[in-house]
């Protein structure tokens, strides 16, 4: 609501973030510790994210399924790295009705176990491959510190799980899906994310390797926003996912998984929003245009309706705010809720044959002749806004991207401002942990196919193997 005060982003970023979440009615805390309620404004963004990603997944041949929420302990234990990675943070069901269970069940923190178990009992022949399954569902991780969208005990996500006859196919799938996440961030969310390989320390428990999509927030902190894992035959050997090949030999499948979550909503906020509230790129905004009639003259309302219909008939999501609030209140409400374009139509405007259009991202006002082709004008303006928001985020990312040749460089950067720090690395866990001592810096990703900066590890000075992006994380 317009009367909820939002802390300035530059004064207290963390408080600003939760203020925006609350003021824009995206989510609310609940009586369940660490779990949020996703409210209509927030859920509508998730629905649009789902629709766009789901369409893309299906175009690439994936199909949706739904596997059980609960995982028997013995099944989970079959893959040792997975259970070690997740056991500290799962919730356990120990009672069903009034009875203690013989075997406890965990609420899925991720579903490699269930998919592997399913595949193991259903795949027989090379003709059954590949299987390209995805599911949209809730998962639960027993986090200690939580924040709306960014980290909560329960969250919503999609998890793709695929199995393939060959290593090449599975690796191509792993790569393809991180590219989908990157495309989604760049083209839809207007977030210029970067992608690369996780170090062994940061990869998914049980994966041979993890590709990651990393976004940089306005304050310079990174957000992991989509990962794609290549498992090789690790799970297929642990769970026995075998098939008969063309020449009738018994083979293990190659496997991948990939996921994105409701935390992308948090990323959207932290990249684009401002002190007036939510700012949404037009392509992800559930409502793109609000028309606010000033006064209740019939002519004004008629024009509002006419424009509203025209826009909606041409795939622009528009609505008229006809509530009994004052125009000023409605303006503020449209602002805090991040509606990309605000159309103001008043009696005086009509006399001048003009309406006012205000962009949410720049607050820029445009006076538009009434007899303009309003659909084309609006579509163009929405696309301009989408591009400008991407460009602004890219400029910010570039401002907050640094290079470091040695630890003194790193410290000097971090004394001023966190961000993406490019630095060479020898590949040793020891040096990775040394970096963490500098205000918690972690490797975000290894950049692929990029030249080393100095050829020497930023920590130990020994020959470097990789150019790594380091940063703080949510």
The CA distance from 457 to 467, in Å, is 9
Q: Which of 8, 80, 94, 312 binds a second copy (CB under 8 A)?
A: 94
CA contacts within 13 A on the Cβ side of 88: 6
Q: Which stretch binds a second copy (CB under 8 A): 103-111, 342-350, 358-366, 435-443?
A: 103-111
Instruction: For the CB of residue 290, give the shortest distance to a second copy in the complex, in Å.
Output: 16
Residue 385 sits in the site that holds a second copy (CB under 8 A):
no
Q: Among residues 78 and 305, whose Cβ is nearest to a second copy?
A: 78
Residue 11 sits in the site that holds a second copy (CB under 8 A):
no
3-state secondary structure of 38: strand
Kindly report the number of other CB atoms within 10 A of residue 375's CB atom: 15
Binding characters for a second copy, 301-340, by CB under 8 A (x = yes): ----------------------------------------
Q: Which stretch binds a second copy (CB under 8 A): 4-12, 40-48, 176-184, 289-297?
A: 40-48
Q: Among residues 73 and 388, whose Cβ is nearest to a second copy?
A: 73
Instruction: For the CB of residue 278, give the shortest distance to a second copy in the complex, in Å.
Output: 17
Q: Which stretch binds a second copy (CB under 8 A): 100-108, 220-228, 301-309, 347-355?
A: 100-108
Q: Among residues 88 and 449, whose Cβ is nearest to a second copy?
A: 88
Q: Residue 306: which region, alpha, beta or left (left: phi > 0; alpha: psi -120 to 50)? A: alpha
Q: Which of 52, 60, 69, 375 binds a second copy (CB under 8 A)?
A: 69
Residue 368 CB-density burial (10 A; 0-12 exposed, 13-18 middle, 19+ buried): middle
Instruction: Please list every residue from 107 through 136 that binds a second copy, using CB under 8 A.
Output: 107, 114, 117-118, 122, 133
Instruction: For the CB of residue 283, give the shortest distance to a second copy in the complex, in Å.
Output: 20
Instruction: For the CB of residue 446, give the shortest distance to a second copy in the complex, in Å.
Output: 30
Dihedral angle sign, alpha carbons of residues 124, 130, 134, 140: positive
Binding characters for a second copy, 131-170, by CB under 8 A (x = yes): --x---xx-x-x-----------x-x--------------
Q: Residue 155: which region, alpha, beta or left (left: phi > 0; alpha: psi -120 to 50)? A: beta
Q: Which of 3, 31, 248, 449 binds a second copy (CB under 8 A)?
A: 31
Establish whether the linkage from the previous residue to 130 is cis, with ω within 30° of 0: yes
Spatial CA neighbour of 273 closest among 47, 38, 27, 17: 17
Q: Which of 2, 20, 38, 165 binds a second copy (CB under 8 A)?
A: 38
Q: Which of 61, 68, 440, 463 binds a second copy (CB under 8 A)?
A: 68
Residue 95 CB-density burial (10 A; 0-12 exposed, 13-18 middle, 19+ buried): exposed
The CA distance from 470 to 214, in Å, is 11
- What residues pair up with 469 in beta bridges, in sequence order? 422, 445
Q: Which secondary structure element, helix H or strand E, spans residue 58, and what is its range?
A: helix 40-59
Question: Who's near 225: CB < 8 A, 6+ residues apart?
Answer: 181, 185, 191, 193, 213, 214, 215, 260, 263, 264, 267
Q: Among residues 105 and 385, whose Cβ is nearest to a second copy?
A: 105
Residue 241 sits in the site that holds a second copy (CB under 8 A):
no
Instruction: Please list every residue from 70 through 89 that binds a second copy, using CB under 8 A.
Output: 70-72, 75, 87-89
Q: Which of 4, 8, 12, 30 binds a second copy (CB under 8 A)?
A: 30
Residue 446 sits in the site that holds a second copy (CB under 8 A):
no
The CA distance from 132 to 56, in Å, is 13
Q: Which of 60, 65, 301, 452 binds a second copy (CB under 8 A)?
A: 65
Question: Who's near 83: CB < 8 A, 6+ residues apart?
Answer: 76, 77
CB 359 within 8 A of CB 340: yes
The CA distance from 114 to 424, in Å, is 39
Q: Which residues bind a second copy (CB under 8 A)?
A: 28, 30-32, 35-40, 43-44, 46-47, 63-72, 75, 87-98, 104-105, 107, 114, 117-118, 122, 133, 137-138, 140, 142, 154, 156
């Amino acid at each position: 609501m317009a009367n909820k005060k939002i802390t300035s982003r530059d004064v207290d970023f963390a408080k600003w973030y939760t203020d925006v979440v609350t003021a824009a009615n995206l989510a609310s805390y609940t009586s369940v510790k660490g779990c949020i309620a996703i409210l209509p404004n927030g859920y509508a963004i998730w629905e649009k994210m789902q629709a766009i990603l789901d369409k893309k997944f299906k175009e690439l041949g994936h199909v949706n399924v739904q596997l059980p929420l609960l995982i028997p302990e013995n099944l989970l234990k079959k893959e040792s790295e997975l259970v070690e990675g997740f056991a500290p943070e799962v919730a356990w069901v120990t009672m069903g009705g009034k009875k203690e269970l013989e075997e406890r069940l965990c609420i899925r923190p991720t579903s490699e176990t269930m998919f592997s178990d399913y595949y193991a009992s259903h795949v027989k022949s090379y003709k059954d491959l590949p299987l390209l399954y995805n599911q949209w569902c809730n998962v639960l991780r027993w986090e200690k510190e939580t924040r709306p969208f960014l980290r909560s005990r329960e969250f919503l996500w999609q998890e793709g799980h695929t199995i393939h006859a060959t290593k090449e196919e599975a690796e191509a799938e792993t790569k393809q899906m991180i590219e989908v996440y990157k495309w989604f961030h760049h083209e839809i969310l207007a977030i210029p994310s970067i992608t690369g390989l996780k170090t062994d320390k940061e990869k998914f428990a049980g994966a041979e390797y993890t590709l990651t999509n990393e976004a940089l927030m306005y304050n310079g902190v990174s957000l992991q926003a989509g990962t794609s894992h290549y498992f090789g035959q690790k799970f297929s050997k642990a769970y026995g996912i075998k098939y008969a090949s063309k020449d009738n030999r018994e083979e293990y499948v190659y496997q991948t998984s990939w996921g994105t979550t409701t935390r992308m909503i948090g990323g959207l906020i932290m990249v684009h929003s401002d002190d007036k509230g939510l700012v949404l790129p037009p392509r992800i905004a559930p409502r793109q245009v609000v028309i606010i009639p000033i006064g209740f003259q019939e002519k004004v309302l008629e024009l509002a309706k006419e424009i509203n219909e025209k826009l909606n008939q041409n795939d622009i999501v528009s609505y008229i705010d006809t509530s009994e609030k004052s125009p000023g209140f409605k303006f503020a409400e449209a602002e805090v809720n991040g509606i990309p374009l605000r159309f103001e139509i008043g009696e005086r405007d009509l006399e001048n044959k003009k309406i006012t259009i205000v962009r949410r991202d720049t607050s820029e006002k445009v006076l538009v002749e009434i007899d303009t082709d309003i659909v084309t004008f609006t579509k163009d303006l929405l696309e301009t806004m989408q591009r400008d928001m991407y460009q602004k985020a890219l400029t910010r990312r570039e401002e907050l991207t640094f290079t470091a040749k040695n630890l003194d460089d790193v410290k000097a950067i971090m004394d001023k401002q966190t961000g993406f720090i490019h630095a060479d690395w020898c590949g040793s866990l020891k040096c990775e942990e040394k970096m963490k001592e500098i205000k918690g810096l972690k490797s975000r990703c290894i950049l692929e196919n990029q030249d080393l900066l100095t050829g020497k590890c930023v920590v130990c000075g020994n020959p470097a193997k990789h150019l790594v992006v380091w940063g703080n994380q949510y």
